[in-house]
Structure 1
Amino acid sequence: MRARRGLIVAVLAVCTVLASALTASAQPARLSRYVALGDSYTAGPLIPLQRVDPLGCLRSTSNYPAQLALRLLVSSYTDVSCSGADTGDMTAPQSVPLGTNPPQLDALRPDTDLVTLGIGGNDYSVFGTLVGTCPGLRASDPTGNPCQRQFTVDGVDTIKAKLPQTRANITAVLAEIHRRSPQAKVLAVGYPRIAPPSGTCPDVLPFADGDYAWLNSVEEALNAAVSGAAADGGASYVDTFTPSLGHDACAGAAAWINGKDLKLTAAPYHPNFAGMTGLAAIVERAVR
């Protein structure tokens, strides 16, 4: 009886050790040094409170990198994202009002172990061209697709035609990130949904009715370029387009994206605070 009792105790002890080991191995390694890179969809223009390093980057203390750093309890957090940035600003200084943002990749170190990259929408002025041109064309054909026609030449969508090069540009950035921070977990973060899959809200998003579907298709193509670059460049792609369904600019109180109007808490056509909170949760799930 004593021998049997001793055997049972020994087996239980071994099982406890094995369970503890398995539990420990299932837990992700603690990430300590996080660097955030990106454009205005990362920086969070006008979302309180705005940082001043430099002020012209319109970088928020409540953007998704800041919220992600808190969620992950990292010991070191550096956010060098900047509104207006494109892939060229990863390795070159970016001039902004009232200052200069240093090359974003200069923030990387050999011991950096987490990097998020949200870039591509400003390459070849894709994003600026859409929001700068399409609203002005709505009056000419409110129920049609005048913006799509404007940028279609000889049957070629000239906006989408630029995106393969955007993919190549992001791939090159990812290669440089890996070179500078070879141990880092690298996430290429896509862009959240701006327009709904159906329906319109011209008072908020003043595109012609038929251009809503085209805007969605352009954004999907842009995200495909980011996703493709992640696959090419050894990074993980974070899809924010799919989980932001129901949070587009037309979603009212549920919107993650501000519409055309400048607000004290969000720039036109950019994420608001709720959007940054939603993005932080999506990226956190990808990290964990």
Structure 2
Amino acid sequence: MNSTTSSARRPRAAAMVAALGCTMTAVALGPATAEASTGGVYVALGDSDAAGSVVFPQSELLTCARSTANYPSLVAKALQVQTFRDVTCASATTKHLTQPQPGNVVGVAPPQFDALSADTTLVTMSMGGNDIGIADDAYGCVNPFPAAAGHSCAADFTAGGRDTFVERTDALAATYGDVLEQIHQRAPHARVLVVGYQYFFRPGGCPAAHPISSRDSDYLQQSLSRLNAMVAAQAAAHNATYVDLEPSTINHDACAPVGDRWAEGIIPSPPTGGTSLIPVHPNAAGYENTARQILAALGH
């Protein structure tokens, strides 16, 4: 698949957000202990994996598809922060940290860095997946035919001895490091946590449930894990804490049964309470787990 393929050929968050209007029940974390209460100013930066796109209830649906059940909201509640600024936004890339972002349906989101201030005490960020295009390109891997008869997107992405996602991820590394330095400059007293992406496809995938061949689902997961490794390395090099979601989400991937599934695959689960209706994204249970991992990283 050509990496310049028009996004009009693939499902986009904007189209899915515009079509949805139901309400779902989200499960919150338990009450915070007195020790977990930090006060202070918490700023959440990130893309749809942080925003909780189309996980209901939504606090803002048409511009950024931001959920009140996303992990930043759960962390803010558990920590009882004094000021909470959630500027996460579906479809965001690193450029939208410093530039306005057109809304997914209507409106314009201001640069996310505008939320940072000298009195910020905590920053979390999930970012990078849209920069390398892995979510969009995963849709192009859909293959309803048997592997022997279908087309392999892994073959396309590794054609000619070059790996598209390796190159995109390596090219993003310097930008990611610069982003972290800018956060420190704008919020010099803040603890900065960079949140990785969770595990989506177990080895071999589950072609019967999600129409992606075993080879292609393995390739997508390996590419996502490589992105996580790059983000972890940049966090270590730029005075940030990396929150690794992969270990805690193994066996809770998109192939797991409904109820054990913390992420949705190409075909989301039936619309039950808290389920994400956007493919290849966390659901409400996934956000609860992410919040737990962040709180553990903070020592709570």
TM range (shorter): 0.7 to 0.9
Q: Aligned-pair RMSD on alpha carbons? A: 2.0
**Superposed counterparts of 1:125-144, under 5 Å:** 125-129=133-137, 131-136=138-143, 139=145, 141=147
**Superposed counterparts of 1:3-42, under 5 Å:** 30-42=38-50
3-state SS of the aligned residue for 1:51? strand
The answer for the alignment partner of 2:242 in structure 1 is 237
User: For residues 257 and 28 of structure 1, do their structure 2 counterparts lie closer, same or farther at Cα, with a shift above 3 Å needed?
Assistant: closer
Where structure 2 has 5 or more consecutive residues not aligned to the other structure, the ranges are 1-34
The answer for the alignment partner of 1:280 in structure 2 is 291
Residue 231 of structure 2 is aligned to residue 226 of structure 1: yes
Deviation of 1:29 after TM superposition, in Å, equals 9.0
Where structure 1 has 5 or more consecutive residues not aligned to the other structure, the ranges are 1-26
Higher helix share: 1
Q: Distance in 2 between matches of 1:180 and 1:211?
A: 40
Q: Distance in 2 between matches of 1:28 and 1:277?
A: 16
Percent of paired sites with the same residue: 38
The answer for the alignment partner of 2:123 in structure 1 is 115
What is the number of residues matched between the two proteins? 258
Deviations 1:190-211 (A, max 9, x none): 0000001x34322433211122
The answer for the alignment partner of 2:19 in structure 1 is none
Deviation of 1:82 after TM superposition, in Å, equals 0.3
Q: Residue type of the partner of 2:55? A: I
Once the two structures are overlaid, the 10-residue window that deviates more, 31-40 or 138-147, is: 138-147
Deviation of 1:231 after TM superposition, in Å, equals 1.8
The answer for the alignment partner of 1:71 in structure 2 is 78
User: For residues 142 and 246 of structure 1, do their structure 2 counterparts lie closer, same or farther at Cα, with a shift above 3 Å needed?
Assistant: farther
**Superposed counterparts of 1:240-279, under 5 Å:** 240-252=245-257, 253-261=259-267, 264=271, 265-266=275-276, 267-279=278-290
Once the two structures are overlaid, the 10-residue window that deviates more, 105-114 or 31-40, is: 31-40
| TM-score (normalised: structure 1) | 0.84
Deviation of 1:218 after TM superposition, in Å, equals 0.6
Deviations 1:48-70 (A, max 9, x none): 11122x62211000100000111
Q: Distance in 2 between matches of 1:203 and 1:43?
A: 29
| TM-score (normalised: structure 2) | 0.81
User: For residues 29 and 274 of structure 1, do their structure 2 counterparts lie closer, same or farther at Cα, with a shift above 3 Å needed?
Assistant: closer
Moved >6 Å (runs of 4+): none
The answer for the alignment partner of 1:57 in structure 2 is 64
Deviations 1:72-109 (A, max 9, x none): 11111110000000100000000011111110010001
